[in-house]
Structure 1
Amino acid sequence: MSTQYDTERLRKSDAAHILHPASVVADVSNNGPARIFVEGKGAFITDTEGKKMLDGVGGLWCMNIGYGRTEIGDAMKAASDQMGYFHTFAGASNPAQIELAEKLIAKMPDHITKVFFGSSGSDANDTLMKIVWYYNGLRGKPEKRKIIARRQAYHGTTIATASLTGLASFHRNFGLPIPEVKHTSLPHYYREAGFNESEEEFSTRLARELEELILAEGPETVGAFIAEPIMGAGGVITPPKGYFAAVQAILKKHDILFICDEVVCGYGRTGHWFGHQLYDIRPDMIATAKGLTSGYFPMSAAFISDDIWKVLRDGSATLGAFAHGFTYSGHPVGSAVALANLAIIEGENLVANSAQTGAYLHAQLNDTFGNHAHIGEIRGVGLLGALQLMADRDTKTGFDLKHKIAARCAVAIGNHGVIVRPLPTADSLAFSPPLTLTLSEADQMVDAIKKGINQVMGELNAEERKGMAA
């Protein structure tokens, strides 16, 4: 199919001028971008050469309402025509920000009463980390600065949030993590549990390890614990039974705040509005982004409890202005986009569709891969999930990561018309398609995943098949 784009010229120009995020610099410099996408509609996206693909990752876990929604463009244009921009510093505001705040707070637990707007999930977590420090300083406990995250978690790429991220590649050669950040156990029952250890016993052990870390660091120095309800880039890892109940008891015991990172899980991805509803988490702070605008505008919303807000309010009597903020906080165009996005999610019952179509997709994956020799686990909830690749599922022998099996599978699946995301650290294939996904589109995903995985597994040589024991 011919298009209006000169793909080769664009590739060369891209390679000459752009430093890409999360990409191998030499590969892009030598070869240009893998694909250049120009159009999207529903769950599908099309590149400059006319190839149409089902986006099984929803951009980066964010395209909840699907591509090409003219309602969003209309809302964006109206807001741009009306004013376009004005800051929200020094108490300035705009109607769209106010309406958005009302709508979001109404979806929060009763004790979460205030929201701070930013531009990304990274800055939302960065903001909450700073508020932990600010809050404890105002309480006369300035030494409570340490934040505990989990190994293999993902929380962002700023200096602070890359430190929270528990993936070595985000620390290596950057001199991270910063001293205030510590990491505790990965709650992946399939890979980390002991022999004959039940999920409940595994959760109890992890809670005990968390408390041991707190005691070793000194409870008086630990300000917060941060966790995603379901870990996203770390492998789409769902918590074992009893995990969050056990963890929250430890946090309460030691006066430690719980930051719930909902950047991936929020706004319907799990078949619930938010992941904390699924696991009965009572957070003190919540970070959201991605699905807030379905990626149509860079925006985040970070929430705090009424108790925290009261401390900040009372402290302002002596400290004056809250010395934190971004040029684009509460952006009127972004707020209008978020409102239009939420209206689509509500009006089309996309949270329910996430639950129903997600259940169908997981059932189809289980039927297809439940006994597959190289799939050890099928994880996830709603339209969020992952397949765990294994050299031998019976012995729980993983592939040697140097062979990049996940990346090779993703390429093969892409050749069959579906985009999935390889997660190299977890050696998994992740999916998070738009919440508009239909049953027939779910079938298309499963068919392409099956063909791609079987193709790669059929091509493995003897060394690759040996794998590496966990």
Structure 2
Amino acid sequence: MQRTHNRSEASRLDSERHLHPYTHPRKIEADGPVVISGGDGIWVVDEDGNRYMEGLAGLWCASLGFSERRLADAAYRQMLELPFYHSFAGRVPEVTARLAAKLMDWSPLPFARVLFANSGSESNDAAFKLVHYYNNAKGRPRKKKIIARDRSYHGSTAVASAMSGLSAARKVFELDIPGIVRISCPHYYAYGLPGETIEQFSDRLVEELEQTILREGPETVAAFIAEPVIGGGGVVIPPPGYYDGIQAILRKYDILFIADEVISGFGRLGEAFGSTVFGLKPDMITVAKMLSAAYAPISALYLSEDIYETIKQGSDTVGVFGHGFTYSGHPVAAAVALETLRIYEDDGILDHVRRVAPRFQDGLQALSDHPLVGDVRGMGLIGAIELAEQPALRKPFAPEKGVGAYFLGRALANGLILRAVPGDIITFAPPLIINEAEIDDLMSRVRLSLDETSSWLRQQA
């Protein structure tokens, strides 16, 4: 299937005026963007009329696809009723108050409050600030360091980028902020030692956390931040026993646990939260993306009772809790998020994910026989295939070969949008509404694109 693409006026203007996130500027200048003009279910349509299956739900977020009328109607009604109001100085939009209560109904643990923002980046940034606030209010001004992991992704604000373990988020920006300490990524395929079992690998990483805390000084280490499943770093599924060991160490040294559920929250893994899947008991949880099915920008930070009570004590010293954004809990975004949660409940979306996830995971595993595929992993409706030059030896392709990028180009030509991350890792996270026939279609397009990539590689040899 060959996709047509003509440089339109929109494409030309964009390539001359728009600096794209996470895109090489030279590529946009040379080729122009693919201009998306419409959407229907799990499909998007470009300005030339080409249809693409969205295999990453946009950016892990369009859980209900691209044509859910109930969400459009909710936004429209709220626009007519109250298009904006803030939550500062003791005031709040009614719909924002209702959303806060509804989020508590969904909470995996008995949290005390939620703090709204506009993106996962902002909520992770707020979590960083509250770690400082919390320990200052408790009279522990030295206890400020945050431990994060290699290959993690926590957002694009300055602090969220600094906590992230991806070089593109930090390197040229020089965002190695003091007080952020990094430990290993729990990716056994990439980092397991020769002869090391997955159980030994897990034990080694738990021991690394404890030794890092002891090296830094337990009195200086305040929090650990982790995605239940690492998303942007390549869909890394933690090994069995990993989180049990990690949480025991955190409790031992009185260290807060921040669970970044920006990707995993609201059904991606087959449960409402990844914390439930892995038995996590975090002190804070950040959510965004599928909170509103991506129809409006909104995020939230769940706070434990202890953190909330400490915030109250700290506010006594200055008379106010000095944090927030103009658009925190914006009523239109709150209305869309509230309706999203109702749709999840009304339509049994989590049950649907649990029904179709085995088909999705079986489809991914069937790709493991392809000569380009070194590793396949996933759970629920998230997954990845890691391409390799010599799969049996776990030997990756040289980055300069651009194998992952070539595969993405073939997938696009075959009507499928996916994403590659460093290491030629192809990531999958389709809208939660995908059905089994669409899953089979997606996997057929992937295999075709892999075959075409193999042919290209043979021509390069």
Question: Normalised by the size of structure 1, how large is the TM-score?
Answer: 0.95
2:446 equivalent to 1:435:
no
In the alignment, which residue of structure 1 is the partner of 2:423?
A: 426
Supply the AA of the counterpart residue of 1:229.
Answer: P
| Separation (CA, whole Å) in 2 of partners of 1:29 and 1:9 | 14
Counterpart contact for 1:7–1:49, Cα < 8 Å: no
Alpha-carbon distance in structure 1 between the residues aligned to 2:63 and 2:243: 26
1:205 corresponds to:
204
Deviation at 1:29, TM superposition (A): 2.3
In the other structure, the counterpart of 1:451 is 448
1:238-249 to 2 correspondences below 5 Å: 238-249=237-248
Aligned 1:225-236 pairs, distance under 5 A: 225-236=224-235
After TM superposition, give the deviation of residue 463 of structure 1 in Å: 7.4
1: distance between equivalents of 2:226 and 2:251?
15
Take 2:67 and 2:397, find their aligned partners in 1: how far apart are those partners?
39
1:37-436 maps to which residues of 2 (within 5 A)? Answer: 37-367=36-366, 369-423=367-421, 425-436=422-433
SS of the residue corresponding to residue 344 of structure 1 reads helix
Deviation readout 1:223-243 (Å, 9 max, x if unpaired): 100000000000000000100
Unmatched segments (≥5 aa) in structure 2: none
- Number of residue-to-residue matches in the alignment: 457
Aligned equivalent of 2:9: 9
CA distance in structure 2 between the aligned counterparts of 1:30 and 1:395, rounded to whole angstroms: 37
> How far apart, CA to CA, are the structure 2 residues paired with 1:276 and 1:62?
18
| Residue 30 of structure 2: aligned partner | 30
SS of alignment partner, residue 239 of structure 1: coil
CA offsets per residue over residues 163-222 of structure 1, 9 Å max, x none? 011011211121112112111001001111122322222111101111111111111111
Q: Structure 1, residues 226-264: CA drift from partner, whole Å, max 9, x if none?
A: 000000000000000100011111111111100000001
1:7/1:48 contact within 8 Å kept = no
In the aligned structure 1, how far is the partner of 2:340 from the partner of 2:110? 25
Is the 1:207–1:246 contact (alpha carbons within 8 Å) kept by the matching residues of 2? yes
The AA in structure 2 aligned to 1:72 is: L
CA contact (8 A) 1:146 1:224 kept: yes
Equivalence for 1:468: none
Please state how far the C-alpha of 1:373 moved relative to its aligned partner: 2.1
TM-score by length of 2: 0.97
What letter corresponds to residue 282 of structure 1 in structure 2? K
| Contact 2:396/2:423 (<8 A) preserved | no
Contact 1:135 1:308 in 2 (8 A): yes
Q: 1: CA distance between counterparts of 2:415 and 2:120?
A: 29
Aligned mates of 1:212, 1:192 — CA distance in 2 = 18
Deviation (angstroms), 1:357: 1.3
> By how many angstroms is 1:6 displaced?
8.7
Query: What is the CA–CA distance in structure 2 between the aligned matches of 1:195 and 1:390, rounded to whole Å?
Result: 18
Inter-partner Cα distance in structure 2 for 1:194 and 1:27: 38
Partner secondary structure for residue 330 of structure 1? coil
Distance 1:6 1:25 in 2: 19
Question: How big is the shift at 1:461?
Answer: 4.6
Give the Cα separation in 2 of the matches to 1:28 and 1:318: 51
- Residue identity in the other structure for 2:128: M
Equivalent position amino acid for 1:406 in 2: G
Work out the CA distance in 2 between the residues paired with 1:346 and 1:426: 38
The CA distance in 1 between the partners of 2:170 and 2:330, in whole Å, is: 32
- Three-state SS of the structure 2 residue aligned to 1:219 is coil
Q: For the Cα contact (< 8 Å) 1:44–1:67, is it kept in 2?
A: yes
Q: In the aligned structure 1, how far is the partner of 2:219 from the partner of 2:353?
A: 42
What is the DSSP-based 3-state SS (H/G/I as helix, E as strand, rest coil) of the residue aligned with 2:219? helix
Is the CA contact 1:56–1:419 (under 8 Å) kept in the aligned structure 2? yes
**SS where residue 430 of structure 1 aligns?**
strand
Q: Deviations over 1:431-451 (max 9, x none)?
A: 111100011100110000000
- Cα 1:147–1:463, aligned 2, differ >3 Å: closer, same or farther? farther
Letter matched to residue 185 of structure 1: S
For residues 183 and 101 of structure 1, what CA distance do their matches in structure 2 show? Answer: 33
Range with bigger deviation, 345-354 or 144-153: 345-354
Amino acid at match of 2:143: K
**Offset at residue 105 of structure 1 (A):** 1.0
Report the secondary structure of 1:398's partner residue.
coil
Aligned equivalents of 1:391 and 1:323: distance in 2? Answer: 53
Q: Structure 1 pair 462/454, CA: closer, same or farther in 2 (3 Å)?
A: closer
Distance 2:30 2:371 in 1: 37
- Segments of structure 1 that go 5 or more residues without pairing to the other structure are 465-470
Tell me how far 1:372 sits from its aligned partner.
2.1
Conserved? CA contact 1:234–1:426, under 8 Å: no
> How many Å separate the matches in 1 of 2:6 and 2:184?
49
